[in-house]
Amino acid sequence: MTRTLAPSAALSALVLAAAPAHADSVLRIGMTAADVPTTTGMPNNGFEGMRFLGYPVFEGLVLWDLSRTDRLAGLRPGLAERWEQAPDDKATWIFHLRPGVRFHDGTAFDADAVVWNLDRYFKPDSPHYEPPAAGISRARAPLLAGYRKIDERTVAITSAAPASYFPYMVVYLLFTSPASFEKVGRDWAKVAALPAAGTGPFRITQVRPREVVELARNDAYWDRESLPKVDRVRLMPIPEANARIAALRAGQVDWIEAPAPDGIPSLRQAGFVITTGSYPHVWPWFYNIGAEKSPLKDVRVRQALNYCIDRDGLVTFLNGTAEPAVGWLKAGDPDFGAPQNRYGLDPKKGRALLAEAGYTEKNPLALKVMISTSGSGQMQPLPMNEFLQENLKQTCNVDVSFNVVEWQVLLNAGRSAPDSPALQGAHALNVSSPSSDVAVMARYFSSANVSPKGFNFPQWTDARFDAALKELAGATDPATIATATRAAHERLVDDPPWLYIVHDLNPRAMSPRVKGLVSPQSWFVDMTRISVQ
């Protein structure tokens, strides 16, 4: 297997460490990304981009409530102080904008700025349309069908159909100052280096691709109770797990994402703080069901693979930083339901299903999987996939080969058509993903959201799933919503569009100087609470 890493990113950490100390407080973070996320206001690099260069800098009408650890993160007011469904049209939501909010460049955030940004994402003939940001936003909010200004502080956004979970899609739409685009002659490439202005608690002060993004506290932030406790944040891409550990040990960073599991005991012994916690995450293989000659069109093959993998062995291999995944949701989730299949390591059953589908010892199943070297939520993709490669060969005689690419390349492939040249013949993609709410379920599995429109890369269709999703989308009664959600999830298990592997426990390692981190049940963190002492 060919591995393509980015040593320049790790090297940059060493170079930056030599910079002179400053009197102000600086939080230095080693990310898993191979490059800094884009800085025009809709960051790439998945949810790691949103975690560090999305919400801290460019906010949405709706934000995540990241203040608690005892339950899944819900929503809270952001740039909109409240919202509701229109009384005469359940597909239209009215957002009442927060007064007095200004972008980092001093210009006002108002309804015109909202419409301008939505045109940027959803209106291809707009002079400020930004294709990369549009691709990300359209996939995360595939139900958005229209929008309009009502007055200076009120906008209406319409979904393609009534959906009680629509605000959970709006949470991913971020807002950039229109003045940033005008200032550099209407060129998004130049906006990225400006840098762009948002409304968040931090502002970007410096961008060096592949090396670093510097953030500074926004002292004029509209939420006076949430001013950051650090003066600056330095974000550095260090895609290799052991290089991140080395940077932490050497004092070059204060915080690293996803430390190598075998390095965690020695980090603890050396006095570093290790945090873990349950959050809505699943680490799967997305089946490419739609490709013309895909062996995964057969549900027996998809089920068989779910019986052939040793999840418990992989958890042990990961030093307990994950838990087995036997569905999109965790097995203990009340919405998991009662599917007919309860996956576990059962090679006899897996081989029998493969044989029924025509894959025997003399005609073994062969799969090509596109994986990444690193990335947001990707855990330890190279060693984990090598474990699975050997595991599948031993248990069910499945031959697996890999095409190893950078994280953003893999994300782009996930928005491709099933026989696209970008997939290079891949039968599956290893893309970690959230499982936080029904809106995410709709994005990834509804037949209306097949790629490239949404995240349904497998091109999976299941009539019973779609019926359950339609029922819960129009329901307001909690019992009805819960029953429909369970019915939908049962179909995700029994007619699996994915190979469910593990749920990450979100390990981070940091210096004991880092204080105030709350690890919510979310992909995101509240950076304003954190201090460095």
Per-residue pLDDT tens for 172-204?
A: 999 999 999 999 999 999 999 998 999 999 999
Backbone angles phi, psi at 519, to 5 degrees: -100, 85
> How far is residue 337's CA from residue 332's CA, in Å, rounded to a whole number?
10
Residue 489: DSSP 8-state = H
Question: How confident is the model over 346-382, as pLDDT tens digits?
Answer: 999 999 999 999 999 999 999 999 999 999 999 999 9
**Per the structure block, which two tokens stand in for 390?**
């050997």
Buried b (16+ CB within 10 A) or exposed e, 284-317: bbbbbbbbeebbbbbbbbbbbbbbbbbbeebbeb
pLDDT above 90 (res 18): no
Task: Write the DSSP symbol of residue 263.
Answer: G
Q: What is the pLDDT of residue 206?
A: 96
Strands 514-515 and 62-64: unpaired
Q: Tens digit of pLDDT for each residue in 225-235?
A: 999 999 999 99
* pTM tops 0.85: yes
Say whether pLDDT at 284 is over 60.
Answer: yes
Name residue 296's beta-bridge partners.
none
Q: What number is the average pLDDT over the span 63-72?
A: 94
Q: Omega into 452 within 30° of 0, i.e. cis? A: yes
Q: What is the DSSP string of 359-398?
A: --SSS--EEEEEEESS-TT--SHHHHHHHHHHHHHHHH--
pLDDT at residue 10 greater than cutoff 50: no
* Nearest-angstrom CA–CA distance, 233 and 254: 10
Task: Report the distance separating Cα 392 and Cα 402, nearest Å.
Answer: 13
- Nearest CA among 117, 122, 143 for reference residue 60: 117
Rounded distance, CA 478 to CA 30, Å? Answer: 41
pLDDT computed for residue 475 by the predictor: 87
Q: What is the mean pLDDT of residues 205-213?
A: 95
Mean pLDDT of the chain: 94
Binned at pLDDT 50, 70 and 90, residue 23 comes out as: low
Segment 285-320, tens digit of pLDDT: 999 999 999 999 999 999 999 999 999 999 999 999
pLDDT band (50, 70, 90) for residue 453: confident
Residue 232, token pair as written in the block: 């600056």
User: Which domains, ranges and CATH numbers included, belong to the chain?
Assistant: 32-237 (3.40.190.10), 281-504 (3.10.105.10)
**Cα–Cα distance, 478 to 493 (Å, whole number):** 23
Torsion sign, CA atoms 410, 436, 122, 113: negative
Edge-to-edge strands of the sheet including 154-159?
A: 80-86, 89-97, 154-159, 144-151
* Residue 19 neighbours by CB under 8 Å, 6+ apart: none
Query: Three-state SS across 460-479?
Result: CCCHHHHHHHHHHHHCCCHH
